[in-house]
Structure 1
Amino acid sequence: MFLDGIGGPEVWQGRPRFTVGELGFGTGLNVLALWDSWRRTAPAVARLHVVSVEGFPLEPGDLADAHAGFPELGPLAAELRAAYPRRVPGFHRLRLDGGRVALTLLFGTVGEMLKKLTARIDVWFLDGFAPRRNPEMWTDGVFRQLARLSAPGARVATFSAAGTVRRGLAAAGFVMAKRPGFAGKLECLAGRFDAAPVDDGDVPWYAAPPPLGPGAAVAVIGGGIAGRAAARALAGEGFHPVLFDAGDAAAQPERVLMSPRLAGPDDVYGRFMAQAFLQAEGQGGLPPASGALHLPAAAEVPRLQDFAARLGWDGGLAQSVDAKTASDLAGIKTPRGGMWYPAARFAGPATVLVSAMRTARVTGLSLADPGWRVAFEGGGTETFDAVVLAAGPWSGTLVPGGIPGLRANRGQLCHLPATAASARLRLPVSFGGHITPLTGAGGGAVHVLGSSYRRWDLADQGDGWRGLDAGDMTSALDGLAKVFPDLAGAWRKAPLKGWAGLRATTADHLPFVGPLADVAGY
């Protein structure tokens, strides 16, 4: 019904990128039918993106039951279920069909989810119950959001034929008409968006530039986890990224702990950290989960439990544990209980594989016509359609005027030898600082204790951050002594070994993502 209502498959012919919005993911059958038709009729270089809102996500088992009646969709359905995310509120990005298909699931109320969405939708599937059974989906506010998100001429199909739906869509700028129904229903509605684009209210200096087409060349500067993840995502969207790594292996740690950081779900930081962990967890190729234990002050545990419950994380992602359970998990006696994160794991730059990577130090960027000109140490330049800066605190040194608000902070990790007691530690434990179980191979295995946090001025202090600081090691051991005094005591005379690096930080601890602000242009 929906494919006929939007004019598929003719509607996506000649479009290298096609975006479908859906209200009411339900069992996913609409997405599966669309995916099946699109992959059989679209060119191999085309990309499909589906954005689907669902207020009440089904269990994976319920999806399997619904899919069982459609064996012709079996392989696609199995791939969808394998990628299906945890049923927690927020945005969940899935990559399917070898990267040709992206599915962004928005778990939450339709009004709130659409307000948070930035997109240009080519066609809409408006599924869901009739207005009398699901009034929240058919409000004037939702209709206005549909108009805001619609591309010029966007098509819309809905199972509903209710007058309130037709009038609401018409008032928002959609020209609607009745058409024959489906599965015993006499009539349904279809139409198209026929109004001027709706102003989304963005301040002009943060307005996004026109999107790049598939095949655009993108330089990604920085070979750490962020740069590698960006390059892999760009390749998956049909772009041609080239990752430039300065080749300074000492500038980044071999492995980092990827663990939840629970914060208030009502503030931007808390929501971002929750979504960031879920997104990272959903990436392929990661090492298996080891779990991690967090030992906050006892008074903090109820607050963290509340955060986890309000995020929908209680159970499989975050669990409170008593002192005995914490000790059993850690392998050594802990002074108190805390929070157990079963899905935590180690990751590192080498975990994120990219196809096009070059060792070269970038010294500056300048605008070209079109695109950006990238200059390299030793001379030579190359021009790209776009550039992604992922060079940590050095990113601001590459563009005229720098990046206001981007700061450098020095951090140090200490590498400590095994003792009879420390060798029993089974998993990472955080307590303000953190300590890992033995990591590394054979006789080179060490515990990693961290981490310090100190502001660093690149202009005034230069490369002095590379040297290890005995005072930072003492401070780290002092923190460890508050939870594991015996371990800390045994390491007081350990040699000063480890790693130091610079973090890129911002005032609110949220990342800078998006186009550079063109302040001079306004």
Structure 2
Amino acid sequence: MADQHAELSWKEDRIPVSDRFDDPYFSLQNGLEETRHVFLAGNDLPARFEPGFHIAELGFGTGLNMLTAWSAWESSGQTGALHFTSFEALPMAPVDMARALQAFPELQPWSARFLGAWKSGTCDLGTLRLTVIEGDARQQLPAWSGQADAWFLDGFSPAKNPELWGEDLMQQVYGHTRAKGTAATYTAAGFVRRGLQDAGFAVTRSPGYGRKRHMTQAVKP
């Protein structure tokens, strides 16, 4: 368990904003559609889903990305468990998660099941096996024994939270990615793209969501 928790303010009484990083947890336009565009389509999901598929993530936040992926997993007809591992330095209190997720009524069937079972650490919901590893990803990811088929790189803005986008961490992401695995992120910051390329990924700059002109996709050869 981490001894620090996310400190929040609320924009329009519904969008959580990190006090530490002065950055919203999801798009002010439409967080669900941004997640679908960046993290699902950016990793060619749900087309790549198969039994035993494993998604890993930097930055669990409200749980929106996980819930979006889990809903897509079930809706695509998968009946086994989606494995989802997320690294989060400053976990959000469940009461704040519940408040934030009210913005996405379409996900309510999944968010209700998640919030009803979630405390911290691990959670087995049948078609979802979730692990949230609390603490600094720069220490936690090297100690992780897992391998992901797809990565959601969703830390706060690289300009405000550069620690979660550094070259050493991108090397660890690469090392914990299966062959032909992928990564996607909303940012197209040059140093992030270079860090992924230097780690060994084939990197593409793609159209972003909404006001963001570009995003980044990466594939492990």
Tell me the TM-score range normalised by the shorter chain: 0.7 to 0.9
Name whichever of 160-169 and 135-144 sits farther off.
135-144
| C-alpha separation in 2, matches of 1:143 and 1:38 | 26
CA distance in 1, matches of 2:186, 2:157: 9
Deviation at 1:42, TM superposition (A): 3.4
Equivalent position to 1:153, from 180, 183, 189: 180
Aligned position for 1:37: 72
Equivalent position of 1:49 in the other structure: 83
Two-structure CA RMSD over aligned residues (Å): 1.1
Identify which of structures 1 and 2 has the higher relative contact order when contacts are C-alpha pairs closer than 8 Å and 6+ apart: 2
Say yes or no: does 1:165 pair with 2:192. Answer: yes
Query: What amino acid is the match of 2:96?
Result: D
Contiguous gaps of at least 5 residues in structure 1: 87-91, 195-522
Partner of 2:206: 179
Aligned twin of 1:60: 94
Identify the match of residue 94 of structure 1 among 123, 126, 138. Answer: 123
Q: Which of 47, 57, 78 is equivalent to 1:10?
A: 47
| Correspondence for 2:107 | 73
* Alignment partners' CA distance in 1, 2:142 and 2:40: 26
Alignment: residue pair count: 184
8 A Cα contact 2:94 2:119, kept in partner:
no
Moved over 6 A (4+): none
Q: Normalising by structure 2, what TM-score?
A: 0.80
Q: CA deviation at 1:84?
A: 2.0
| 1:187 CA drift (Å) | 0.7
Alignment of 1:453-468 (within 5 A): none
Q: What amino acid is aligned across from residue 154 of structure 2 in structure 1? A: D
Deviations 1:300-325 (A, max 9, x none): xxxxxxxxxxxxxxxxxxxxxxxxxx
**Partner Cα distance (2:98, 2:210) in 1:** 22
Residue 233 of structure 1 is matched in structure 2 by: none
How far has the Cα of 1:141 moved from its partner? 1.6
Rounded to whole Å, the distance in 2 between the matches of 1:94 and 1:114 is 19
Shift of 1:120: 1.4
TM-fit CA distance, 1:127 = 0.5
Conservation of the 8 A alpha-carbon contact between 2:40 and 2:46? yes
Larger gyration radius, structure 1 or structure 2: 1
Task: Give the percent of matched residue pairs that are identical in Structure 1 and Structure 2.
Answer: 38
* Aligned partners of 2:207 and 2:215 also within 8 Å: yes
Query: What's the secondary structure of 2:48's corresponding residue?
Result: helix
Post-superposition shift, 1:164?
A: 0.2
1:95 to partner: Cα distance: 0.5
Q: Secondary structure at the match of 1:35?
A: helix
> 5 Å matches for 1:234-245?
none
Deviations 1:444-503 (A, max 9, x none): xxxxxxxxxxxxxxxxxxxxxxxxxxxxxxxxxxxxxxxxxxxxxxxxxxxxxxxxxxxx
The offset of 1:93, in angstroms, is: 1.5
User: Given the alignment, which residue of 111, 114, 137 partners 1:110?
Assistant: 137
Offset at residue 49 of structure 1 (A): 0.2
Match among 59, 67, 78 for residue 24 of structure 1: 59
Q: Structure 2: state its 5+ residue gaps.
A: 1-36
Q: Cα distance, 1:123 vs. partner?
A: 0.4
Residue pair 1:9, 1:37 contacting (<8 A) in 2 also: yes
How far does the alpha carbon of each residue in 1:346-385 deviate from its partner, in whole angstroms, 9 at most, with x for none? Answer: xxxxxxxxxxxxxxxxxxxxxxxxxxxxxxxxxxxxxxxx
The CA distance in 2 between the partners of 1:59 and 1:133, in whole Å, is 22
Instruction: Quote the Cα distance in structure 2 between the aligned partners of 1:121 and 1:189.
Output: 18
Question: Residue 135 of structure 1: CA displacement?
Answer: 1.3
Partner of 1:341: none
For 1:11, the aligned partner's letter is: R
In the TM superposition, residue 47 of structure 1 has moved relative to its aligned partner by 2.2
Q: Write out per-residue CA displacement over residues 115-143 of structure 1, whole angstroms, 9 at most, x where no aligned residue.
A: 12111100000012222211110112211
Where in structure 2 are the equivalents of 1:230-379 lying within 5 Å? none
Where 2:152 maps in the other structure, the secondary structure is strand
- Conserved 8 A contact 1:126-1:156: yes
Question: Which residue type is aligned with residue 45 of structure 2?
Answer: G
Contact between 1:130 and 1:162, CA under 8 Å: does it hold in 2? no
